[in-house]
Chain A
């Protein structure tokens, strides 16, 4: 499953690109000002998934899914594809997170 997204890691530069839900990991790819970026998180590395709606959290004016790892890293993802995708992603990440890694 892939989504068109805006994303950033640890409040870094905002990338436009793709989120892929792979078998065991969440993969984010994209470019920011022409520079390619990539971020891969195992589902077992996700401690918490939340929705950020404050003005400071939003990306491109859109609410974000906030993904936190046990090491304190934060990844924020805004969905570009259409309405209703944000709750869908949160639900999928929640389901993947509690699933034991194969």
Chain B
């Protein structure tokens, strides 16, 4: 290869600048720079090495002058040792007349063409090294001179701009995807009422952003164990079957310590359950605790980056921590909702007990005291007539007290519900309502003599009871119908009235809809309310029967 003229060099330099700035792909731009460098300096071979993120090795290598067959025969690409390593360690231009004579050279691999003259120039931008431009075998057997170095340095600075732009673009794109995913998870936190779909979304988005093989959320359950509440990725089904002990697993230890960990090699970590890791083929991992109110309530485990050796970076760990913060909010909210529901149940039970205690003390106790006084009146009666009158008063008192005690027992829990089932209990409830309130009540059942599981009968009875109480309190209805229907795999109860109706979005206080809905949900059922002001109300409870 001959040494080009100055005019040619200037023209080639301008062309290279235009080509690099018009090239859309980074690979294309860097390849053009390598070719321009070889052409400008009259070199037989040229290469451009891009440093990896650590800055210690070469991530990419572009060449010119070596054909594909030669490249295949040489084998693996340079790793950045020898003279190339010198440039990586000390980012200043290096000119050598003969590579082989330099004591820092480690020689060439088999099938590598011989190379003597060498010019290496670091690719620098604002003091940051992005890689190096290497040229060898200058034409005419001469060594590289100062002018070559200046030209290649100029090309190297263009390469630096191209690499930095590409990295900035890649970084901006990655941030944009992260923001989109975080927004999506944030929106789901507001709209999604079920915990597990929300955690699954967290797993799916995190897996996609980290390019991980599998992402799982583990939550404590029972006595000292963890279960995988949501899993996304390859082998998710196998993962979901696993549980882990709190004390004997990495997830458990991270939960206990409340500190994130990045594990490059699971096999070397004594806290990792090696049996599970082997069975699921896991190599590396990130473990991030879900922390809410200074308490660890779960762990996100991320395994095996799909590209490379499966290891994650510190940036990956930080991203997983951001997602873990969202997941912690979801888990904490769900646990609080569950605790609130339990608290409501306990409060309602205590209120009912307090009322029962008061009724027994104030009403039944007083009635029994009155009976004692009545007996005294019978004993003290001066004549048969007085005794008959006192006995009659006493009898009425006993009858009324008996009636009140029976009513109290029915209101607490009708015996018919246990002895005869839902349909007879509802027949009594609806006929009693009609008798006492004057509201016309139709009751119809397609259940026949079929008995349902006790908890279903209780739930449906209480839903109807609460609905009828609401109708009396709020609806001013003249007609009510209660229908019990049987469908494949479920029982449906419909309570309909022709009363005032209400806006279901803004129900009146004390209407107890939340309690009714919770009762339905406790037996895996649903409660639907259809109503409009002035248009009556329909309540539909649907519960599955296995």
Q: List residues of A whose CB falls within 8 A of some B CB.
A: 1-4, 6, 14, 16-18, 29-34, 36, 51, 53-55, 58-63, 80-88
Contacts and interface: CB of A to CB of B under 8 A. Distances in A.
Contacts of B411: 82-83
A17 B472 contact: yes
* Chain A to chain B: the 10 pairs with minimum beta-carbon distance, closest first: A84-B355, A16-B437, A60-B436, A84-B359, A87-B362, A18-B473, A83-B408, A4-B472, A4-B473, A87-B358
Interface residues of B, number: 32
A16 B400 contact: no
A82 B412 CA distance: 7
28 contacts: A1-B510, A4-B469, A6-B436, A6-B437, A16-B438, A29-B476, A30-B476, A33-B438, A34-B478, A53-B367, A55-B400, A62-B404, A63-B400, A80-B436, A80-B437, A80-B469, A81-B469, A82-B355, A83-B352, A83-B359, A83-B407, A83-B412, A84-B355, A84-B358, A84-B408, A86-B363, A87-B363, A88-B358
Given A30-B472, A87-B363, 5 more contacts: A31-B476, A34-B478, A53-B367, A84-B356, A88-B358
A16 B436 contact: yes
A16 B509 CA distance: 19
Contacts of A55: 396, 400
B439 interface: yes
B510 A87 contact: no
Q: Which label, helix, strand, loop or mixed, suits the secondary structure of the A interface?
A: mixed
B403 interface: yes
A91 B357 CA distance: 14
Interface in B490-535: 509-510
Interface string B437-458: 1110000000000000000000
Contacts of A51: 363
Contact of A61 (B367, B396, B407, B474): B407
Nearest to B409: A83
Nearest to A32: B438
A30 to B, nearest CB: 7
Contacts of B474: 18
Contacts of B15: none
B376 interface: no
User: A60, A63, A84: which has the most chain B beta carbons within 10 Å?
Assistant: A84
A20 B438 CA distance: 21
User: A14, A31, A34, A83: which has the most chain B beta carbons within 10 Å?
Assistant: A83
A16 B474 CA distance: 10
A1 B411 CA distance: 20
A35 B321 CA distance: 65
B487 interface: no
Nearest to B435: A60
A17 B474 CA distance: 7
B404 A2 contact: no
B259 interface: no
Nearest to A61: B403
B354 interface: yes
Interface string B417-446: 000000000000000000111110000000
A18 B474 CA distance: 7
A85 B403 CA distance: 16
Contacts of A60: 435-437
B476 A86 contact: no
Contacts of A14: 438
User: B352, B354, B358, B478: which has the most chain A beta carbons within 10 Å?
Assistant: B358
A93 B439 CA distance: 28
B476 A17 contact: yes
Interface string B346-366: 000000101111110011000
A36 B476 contact: yes
B403 A82 contact: no
A40 B503 CA distance: 26
B435 A82 contact: no
A76 B414 CA distance: 27
Contact of A18 (B356, B359, B472): B472
A2 B437 contact: no
Nearest to A29: B476
Contacts of B358: 84, 87-88
A82 B404 CA distance: 12
Given A2-B509, A83-B408, A87-B363, A17 B356 contact: no
